[in-house]
């Protein structure tokens, strides 16, 4: 097993003394003749990395004097977005400290880039906060719990995802006046779930790792059993998710035209009509997107046709990017399919990391889809990418039995259970592309408290920093530096 030190200038990040274990660079030609290092030796190598970057180093949140103004970082992230929608994005971020954290990925990316790195790289989600875990349907119509947003996906340190998850638990729980002790227990559970799962995955074969999926009828994660309250939360979320499908979405957002056909019902500023030029550009983009699908799925898609296109505002961090929804009909006007066509922009961590390997870095939409296929246990069969008006987009189904676990329900034992579950799911995602044995060696077993306690300290410190940044953000609105619009969803 080789231990290598990357060229910092080439990696596109500030210089740092770090050791990288089998870094993910351009994917090599597959060699099926040579065997790799045994998993126990790779685990030992990961354990050795603790000498260079001890667990306690992760507890520290650096406070460099040259830290940029967080509001300026957010303003920089607005570049290239639709200016008319920026006040809506500002309003959503201003609604709570947790909403601010969600929209301030670029701020946290800068902060993470100043922290020590274990040196073990994975394809990381880049935005693994608690609201980016949720329910969705599989092609077999099962419902699974997993990561469900990949706009920020890139190659980076596994611990950056875990730190964002930990910070989001701390910040979200503060919003519901959860006690400091319970907040800390939640973070400890998330890190323990990550450690426990990575330890279990370390000796397993790659095929076994890739096949792991969390079906909602099998949510007893290794190391923790689902409690009655958490089971009730899941049952309610599943019931809602099963009702979210193409037919129910049609009833909510569609209306009949004078000629009897379907069209979108406007709900400004969330759902609005597009002009004829944009309408045709989106359809052309979907025809090019079809070329990125496997042939059998392309054949299935060919049996549909587009009947309407609209612009749809989504999320918190994504507000201002171009996002369209297309309504397609197949066998009849009751056989409908909704496709979301969403602009893909450079990930928040791009200034600090080398990024995805070639050729997936050339097109931001392909980066997102490739990352999603790598990190999700079971994916949307209609994932693909395209270009519209020289901008990169990715395409996925809308409302494919999607649902969420409400943050408001994550109190008491459910807070501990879902924290553990999300840590475990994150470990599974990282193990698909990273070296699970090396990460397990570095993390240690879940009975070892060093990493858990360090990240709990870090999450608490970041919660304080996020509160301070949030107040500066609110002050910028009050002073007229930023404009906040009325949000119909708030």
pLDDT in tens, 121-165: 999 999 999 999 999 988 888 899 999 999 999 999 999 999 999
Mean predicted confidence (pLDDT) in 456-485: 98
- What is the SS3 assignment for 27? coil
d(CA 17, CA 12): 15
- Domain spans in the chain, listed from the N-terminal domain onward: 3-239+407-478, 242-397
Distances (CA, A) of 36 to 6, 58, 199, 427, 442: 21, 30, 19, 22, 19
- What is the SS3 assignment for 175? helix
| Sequential DSSP letters for 202-271 | TTS-HHHHHT---BTT----TT-PPPHHHHHHHHHHHHHHHT-SHHHHHHHHEEE-TTS-EEEPPBTTTE
Residue 273: exposed, middle, or buried by beta-carbon count in 10 A (0-12, 13-18, 19+)? middle
Lowest mean pLDDT segment, chosen from 32-36, 118-122, 328-332, 344-348: 32-36
- Residue 27 pLDDT grade (very low, low, confident, very high; cuts 50, 70, 90): low
Residue 246: exposed, middle, or buried by beta-carbon count in 10 A (0-12, 13-18, 19+)? middle
| Residues in CB range of 448: below 8 A, 6 or more apart | 195
* Strands 262-264 and 20-21, sheet pairing: unpaired
Distances (CA, A) of 139 to 254, 365, 380, 405: 24, 22, 7, 21
pLDDT at 196 (0 to 100) = 96
Q: What is the pLDDT of residues 241-272, one digit of tens each?
A: 998 888 899 999 999 998 888 999 999 999 99
The pLDDT of residue 54 is above 90: yes
Nearest Cα residue to 398 out of 179, 228, 246, 222? 246
- What is the SS3 assignment for 435? coil
d(CA 490, CA 477): 17
Mean pLDDT rounded to a whole number for the chain:
91
- Residue 28 pLDDT grade (very low, low, confident, very high; cuts 50, 70, 90): low
The pLDDT of residue 489 is above 80: no
């Amino acid at each position: 097993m080789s231990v290598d030190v990357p060229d910092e200038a080439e990696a596109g990040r500030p210089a740092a003394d770090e050791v990288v274990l089998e870094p993910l660079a351009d994917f090599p030609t597959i060699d099926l003749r040579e065997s790799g290092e045994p998993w126990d030796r790779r685990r030992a190598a990961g354990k050795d990395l603790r000498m260079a970057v001890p667990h306690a180093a992760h507890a520290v949140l650096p406070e460099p004097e040259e830290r940029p103004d967080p509001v300026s970082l957010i303003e920089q992230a607005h570049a290239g977005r639709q200016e008319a929608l920026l006040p809506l994005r500002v309003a959503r971020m201003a609604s709570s400290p947790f909403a601010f954290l969600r929209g301030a990925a670029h701020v946290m990316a800068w902060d993470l880039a100043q922290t020590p790195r274990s040196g073990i790289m994975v394809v990381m989600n880049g935005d693994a906060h608690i609201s980016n875990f949720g329910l969705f349907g599989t092609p077999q119509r099962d419902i699974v719990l997993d990561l469900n947003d990949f706009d920020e996906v890139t190659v980076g340190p596994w611990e950056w995802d875990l730190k964002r998850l930990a910070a989001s638990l701390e910040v979200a729980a503060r919003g519901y006046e959860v006690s400091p002790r319970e907040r800390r227990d939640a973070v400890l559970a998330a890190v323990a779930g990550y450690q426990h799962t990575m330890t279990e995955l370390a000796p397993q074969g790659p095929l076994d790792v890739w096949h792991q999926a969390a079906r909602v009828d099998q949510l007893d994660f290794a190391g923790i059993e689902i409690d009655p309250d958490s089971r009730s939360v899941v049952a309610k979320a599943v019931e809602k998710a099963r009702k979210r499908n193409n037919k129910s979405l049609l009833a909510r957002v569609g209306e009949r035209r004078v000629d009897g056909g379907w069209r979108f019902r406007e709900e400004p500023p969330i759902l609005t009509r597009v002009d004829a030029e944009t309408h045709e550009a989106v359809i052309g983009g979907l025809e090019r997107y079809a070329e990125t699908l496997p042939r059998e799925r392309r054949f299935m898609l060919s049996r549909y046709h587009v009947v309407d296109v609209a612009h749809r505002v989504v999320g918190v961090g994504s507000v201002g990017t171009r996002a369209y929804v297309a309504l397609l009909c197949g066998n009849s006007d009751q056989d409908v399919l909704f496709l979301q066509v969403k602009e893909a922009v450079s990930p928040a961590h791009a200034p600090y990391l080398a990024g995805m390997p070639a050729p997936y870095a050339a097109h931001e939409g392909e980066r997102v889809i490739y990352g999603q296929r790598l990190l999700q246990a079971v994916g949307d069969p209609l994932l693909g990418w395209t270009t519209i008006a020289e901008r990169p987009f990715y395409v996925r189904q809308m409302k494919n039995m999607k649902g969420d676990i409400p943050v408001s329900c994550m109190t008491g034992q459910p807070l501990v259970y879902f924290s553990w579950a999300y840590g475990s799911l994150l470990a599974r995602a990282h193990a698909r592309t990273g070296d699970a044995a090396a990460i397990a060696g570095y993390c240690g077993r879940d009975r070892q408290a060093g990493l858990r306690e360090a990240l709990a300290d870090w999450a608490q410190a970041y919660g304080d920093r996020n509160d301070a940044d949030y107040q500066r953000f609110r002050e910028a609105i009050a002073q007229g530096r930023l404009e906040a619009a009325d949000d119909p969803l708030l």
